[in-house]
């Protein structure tokens, strides 16, 4: 059975410190929900609240019709894979997998059968008699997932499960995890600080910043229609360009950059958001810029452009890999990137229909 | 040039180690020398701890000593020593383990104050508490009994043991407890099935400390015990050099015999300690 999770005005305080405030959203049954945000944003705490490892200060968490608030962790039907894997170092893989059943006083025959089933599912068969220290990082993680599967929980929680793996293994396990989640069809909460991981895995992403939910939505919604400046900068690599300027009757003006936008009002200080792929470099472009950096990364390449007379908001909260202050980032087709020289002059346009507008003061999107 | 300096470095290190080893071993060798020389007089000695004559008389005198009634007094007292130290270790550890688990894993009022108080209690010399303890034991009807001495040794070792064991509990990631809790384990299961096996090296070390301090303890034993058959070995050892003509040979032989169990215990516990330490970490 798969359940929907409801968070209703959830808050968590440690003494005077507010870790989470007014978290309010719901998930559909069987969804993979990714909680993402910079360190200290409260994402792990929110997951621990679901697992019952922390107690709520305010609000209600519901799984289906059941209020979880006062249910002890072991009765919540929540299984968790810890960032450290939390394998019991003195027990073999077999004993680790069987531990939840041993605690529940399940008969040895059933225990053995369940362990075999899970071991087969995760190809752990040959490793059953090894100790955790004799396993590689990826294998340990599979054991941790297996120990969770043995219990057959309704809700799975993954706390940064890939952070201890090397890059190659990470992308492989990402795919495997996603496939496993689809197969099980159970509601899953997945915590990460890596927005790429969030984008590739999630059915629904919850972006958190300083204990407040910034936006809940599909990866596409977050990417194309970020609710505010924080989400705009946090989601996407490289980060979204934010050009400072003013809004006059549906036209944006910021230095040499002009754009038609869908907001009819006039606002004195706004930020124009443009993804690198919406900055189109071509010889007939209206705005002139000088190439200051070239990053060919294969199928796409990035140009970092210095534009006379514009001011860019680089905000602190960026997860992008290439924060180059004061330079506008444009994406070009991979092969083309090799054709540019640093210092040369190029021309570009913005793709008007893809642009978003944020209020420069509040940071909220207004168009 | 570089090669020469390396040799000098090695020679220097060895010189320091040799001097340090000699400083540690010199008195021990002296005790050995005294134990195997028949007269057992300090005045005959030169600077080097080499015996002029060799005899095992002192050792056999100490080991096969009989009391007025012909009882093998050494074996009785060795039994007392082992019983008292062993029992005190086990009782002390049982209390210290559960207390250390509590102090390490649960939040409760006065937790820090409790730990500090226990540290402070270690700062008073044993003699200070001797008289009150004497009254307490008397009131409990345990004065002069082995059980009384076990109680004293166990309680005096508990604070230090808690401090030591808490350190071992603290380094075990809390993830393990939490994971076990999610798996449905009670605090008791977490303690016995997960944490205890992981603090085994700590238990070994703490047990060694407890055992040795009880086994070597002299002041309390000499104050509380008034019957020769209830004596522990340190008390007998002290009495062997009493009087106007102290037999240092007998004393030295006794010291050697006394240290054998400690050396043995150390040997076995140390092996277990190393095993435990390589048991594997959580990640990495």
Same domain flag for B20 and B114 = no
Residue of B nearest to A134 (CA): B280
The whole-model pTM stands at: 0.78
Same domain flag for B33 and B119 = no
Find the CB nearest A89 among B178, B183, B279. B279
Same domain flag for B241 and B203 = yes
Question: Any residues with CB less than 8 A from the CB of B75 and at least 6 apart, and which?
Answer: none
Same domain flag for B18 and B121 = no
Task: Render the burial of B162-175: b for 16+ CB within 10 Å, e for the rest.
Answer: bbbbbebbeebbeb
Q: Cβ of A89 and B180 within 8 Å?
A: no
With respect to residue B65, please indicate whether it lies within any of the assigned structural domains: no
With respect to residue B60, please indicate whether it lies within any of the assigned structural domains: no
CA distance readout (Å), B148 to B77, B79, B216, B230, B270: 16, 16, 17, 11, 30
pLDDT string in tens for chain A (367-residue length): 789 999 999 999 998 899 999 999 999 999 999 999 988 899 999 999 999 999 999 999 999 889 999 999 888 889 999 988 999 999 999 999 999 999 888 889 999 998 998 888 888 888 899 999 898 888 898 899 999 989 889 999 999 888 888 888 888 888 888 998 998 899 999 999 888 888 989 999 999 999 999 999 999 999 999 999 999 989 888 889 999 898 888 888 888 888 888 777 888 888 999 999 999 998 888 898 999 988 888 788 899 999 888 888 876 544 444 445 678 899 988 777 788 888 899 999 888 888 899 988 888 998 7
List A300's β-bridge partners, or say none.
A333
Same domain flag for B175 and B258 = yes
Question: Any residues with CB less than 8 A from the CB of A6 and at least 6 apart, and which?
Answer: A26, A60, A61, A62, A63
| Distance from the A304 Cα atom to the nearest Cα atom in chain B, whole angstroms | 38
| Distance from the B198 Cα atom to the nearest Cα atom in chain A, whole angstroms | 7
What is the predicted pLDDT for the residue at A323?
Answer: 46
Q: Cβ of B184 and A104 within 8 Å?
A: yes
Same domain flag for B265 and B137 = yes
Cis peptide before A238 (omega within 30 of 0): yes
Within a 10 A sphere around the Cβ of A239, how many other Cβ atoms? 24
Same domain flag for B32 and B161 = no
Q: Cβ of B282 and A85 within 8 Å?
A: yes
Q: Cβ of A89 and B282 within 8 Å?
A: yes
With respect to residue B66, please indicate whether it lies within any of the assigned structural domains: no
Question: Any residues with CB less than 8 A from the CB of A212 and at least 6 apart, and which?
Answer: A20, A21, A22, A23
B274 pLDDT exceeds 70?
A: no
Same domain flag for B85 and B191 = yes
Q: Cβ of A80 and B182 within 8 Å?
A: yes
**Structure ipTM over 0.95, yes or no:** no
Q: How many domains in chain B?
A: 2
Within a 10 A sphere around the Cβ of A306, how many other Cβ atoms? 15
Q: Cβ of B173 and A86 within 8 Å?
A: yes
Find the CB nearest A82 among B179, B184, B281. B179
Cβ proximity of B241 and B251 under 8 Å: yes
With respect to residue B258, please indicate whether it lies within any of the assigned structural domains: yes
pLDDT tens readout for residues A66-117: 999 999 988 888 999 998 899 999 999 999 999 999 988 888 999 999 899 8
The domain containing residue B277 runs over which residues?
A: 72-283
Tokens of A161: 């499960």
Same domain flag for B120 and B6 = no
Whose CA is closest to A137, among B277, B279, B276, B281? B281
Find the CB nearest A84 among B180, B182, B282. B282
d(CA A194, CA A23): 21
Q: Cβ of A79 and B182 within 8 Å?
A: yes
With respect to residue B9, please indicate whether it lies within any of the assigned structural domains: yes
What is the predicted pLDDT for the residue at A48?
Answer: 93
What is the predicted pLDDT for the residue at A25?
Answer: 93
| Distance from the A133 Cα atom to the nearest Cα atom in chain B, whole angstroms | 5
What is the predicted pLDDT for the residue at B49?
Answer: 73
Edge-first strand order for the sheet with A212-217 is A78-81, A155-159, A187-192, A32-36, A204-209, A212-217
Region B56-83: mean pLDDT is 84
Same domain flag for B85 and B125 = yes
List own/partner pairs for B42-47 with CB under 8 A and 24 or more apart.
B42/B248
d(CA A101, CA A96): 10
Cβ proximity of B252 and B45 under 8 Å: no
Give how far the C-alpha of residue B215 lies from the chain's centroid of Cα atoms, to the nearest Å.
6
Whose CA is closest to B229, among B122, B82, B73, B106? B73
Within a 10 A sphere around the Cβ of B76, how many other Cβ atoms? 16
With respect to residue B81, please indicate whether it lies within any of the assigned structural domains: yes
Region B205-218: mean pLDDT is 87
Same domain flag for B33 and B160 = no
What is the predicted pLDDT for the residue at A325?
Answer: 62
Residue of A nearest to B190 (CA): A103
What is the predicted pLDDT for the residue at B65?
Answer: 79
Same domain flag for B40 and B143 = no
| Distance from the A202 Cα atom to the nearest Cα atom in chain B, whole angstroms | 25
CATH of the domain at B244: 1.10.3720.10
Please indicate whether residue B111 or residue B230 has the higher confidence score (pLDDT).
B111
Asked if A137 has any chain B CB less than 8 Å from its own CB, the reply is yes
Write out residues 2-61 of A within 8 Å (CB-CB) of B: 51-53
Which residue's entry shows tokens 């900068």?
A: A233
Burial of B278 (0-12, 13-18, 19+ CB in 10 A): exposed
With respect to residue B63, please indicate whether it lies within any of the assigned structural domains: no
With respect to residue B138, please indicate whether it lies within any of the assigned structural domains: yes
Cβ proximity of A327 and A305 under 8 Å: yes
| Distance from the B94 Cα atom to the nearest Cα atom in chain A, whole angstroms | 21
């Amino acid at each position: 059975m798969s359940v929907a999770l409801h968070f209703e005005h959830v808050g968590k305080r440690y003494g005077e410190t507010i870790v989470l405030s007014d978290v309010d959203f719901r998930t559909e049954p069987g969804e993979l929900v990714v909680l993402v945000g910079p360190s200290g944003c409260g994402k792990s705490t929110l997951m621990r609240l679901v697992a019952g490892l922390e107690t709520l200060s305010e609000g209600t968490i519901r799984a289906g019709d059941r209020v979880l608030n006062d249910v002890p962790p072991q009765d919540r039907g929540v299984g968790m894979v810890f960032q450290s894997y939390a394998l019991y170092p003195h027990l073999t893989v077999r004993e680790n997998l069987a531990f939840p059943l041993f605690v529940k006083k399940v008969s040895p025959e059933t225990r053995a059968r369940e362990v075999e089933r899970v071991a087969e599912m995760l190809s752990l068969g040959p490793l059953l008699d090894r100790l955790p220290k004799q396993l590689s990082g990826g294998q340990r993680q599979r054991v941790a997932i297996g120990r969770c599967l043995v219990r057959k929980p309704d809700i799975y929680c993954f706390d940064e499960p890939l952070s201890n793996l090397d890059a190659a293994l990470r992308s492989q396990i990402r795919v495997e995890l996603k496939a496993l989640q689809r197969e099980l069809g159970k509601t899953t909460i997945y915590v990460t600080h890596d927005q790429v991981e969030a984008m590739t895995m999630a059915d629904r992403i919850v972006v958190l910043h300083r204990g407040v939910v910034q936006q809940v939505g599909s990866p596409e919604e977050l990417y194309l229609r970020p609710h505010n400046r924080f989400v705009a900068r946090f989601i996407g690599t490289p980060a979204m360009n934010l050009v400072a300027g003013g809004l006059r009757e549906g036209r944006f003006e910021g230095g040499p950059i002009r754009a038609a936008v869908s907001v009819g009002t006039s606002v004195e200080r706004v930020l124009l958001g443009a993804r690198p792929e919406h900055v189109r470099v071509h010889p007939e472009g209206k705005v002139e810029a000088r190439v200051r950096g070239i990053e060919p990364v294969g199928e796409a390449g990035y140009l970092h452009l210095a534009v006379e007379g514009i001011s860019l908001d680089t905000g602190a909260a960026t997860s992008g890999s290439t924060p180059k202050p004061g330079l506008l980032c444009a994406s070009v087709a991979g092969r083309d990137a090799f054709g540019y020289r640093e210092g040369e002059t190029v021309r570009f346009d913005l793709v008007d229909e893809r642009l978003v507008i944020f209020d420069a003061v509040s940071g909220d999107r207004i168009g | 040039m570089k090669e020469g300096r390396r040799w000098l470095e090695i020679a220097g290190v060895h010189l320091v180690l040799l001097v340090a080893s000699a400083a540690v071993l010199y008195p021990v060798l002296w005790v050995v020398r005294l134990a195997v020389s028949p007269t057992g007089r300090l005045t005959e000695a030169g600077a080097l701890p080499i015996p002029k004559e060799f005899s095992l008389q002192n050792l056999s005198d100490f080991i096969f000593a009989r009391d007025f009634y012909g009882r093998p007094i050494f074996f009785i007292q060795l039994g007392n020593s082992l019983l008292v130290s062993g029992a005190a270790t086990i009782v002390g550890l049982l209390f210290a383990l559960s207390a250390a688990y509590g102090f390490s894993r649960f939040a409760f009022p006065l937790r820090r104050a409790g730990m500090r108080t226990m540290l402070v209690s270690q700062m008073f010399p044993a003699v200070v508490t001797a008289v009150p303890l004497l009254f307490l034991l008397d009131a409990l009807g345990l004065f002069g009994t082995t059980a009384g001495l076990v109680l004293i040794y166990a309680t005096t070792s508990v604070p230090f043991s808690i401090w030591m064991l808490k350190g071992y509990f603290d380094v075990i990631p809390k993830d393990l407890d939490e994971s076990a809790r999610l798996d449905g384990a009670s605090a008791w299961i977490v303690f016995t099935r997960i944490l205890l096996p992981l603090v085994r090296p700590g238990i070994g070390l703490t047990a060694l400390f407890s055992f040795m301090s009880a086994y070597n303890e002299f002041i309390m034993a000499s104050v509380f015990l008034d019957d020769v058959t209830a004596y522990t070995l340190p008390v007998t050892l002290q009495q062997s050099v009493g009087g106007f003509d102290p037999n240092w040979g007998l004393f030295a032989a006794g010291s050697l015999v006394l240290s054998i169990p400690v050396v043995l215990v150390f040997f076995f516990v140390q092996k277990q300690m190393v095993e435990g330490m390589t048991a594997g970490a959580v990640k990495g």
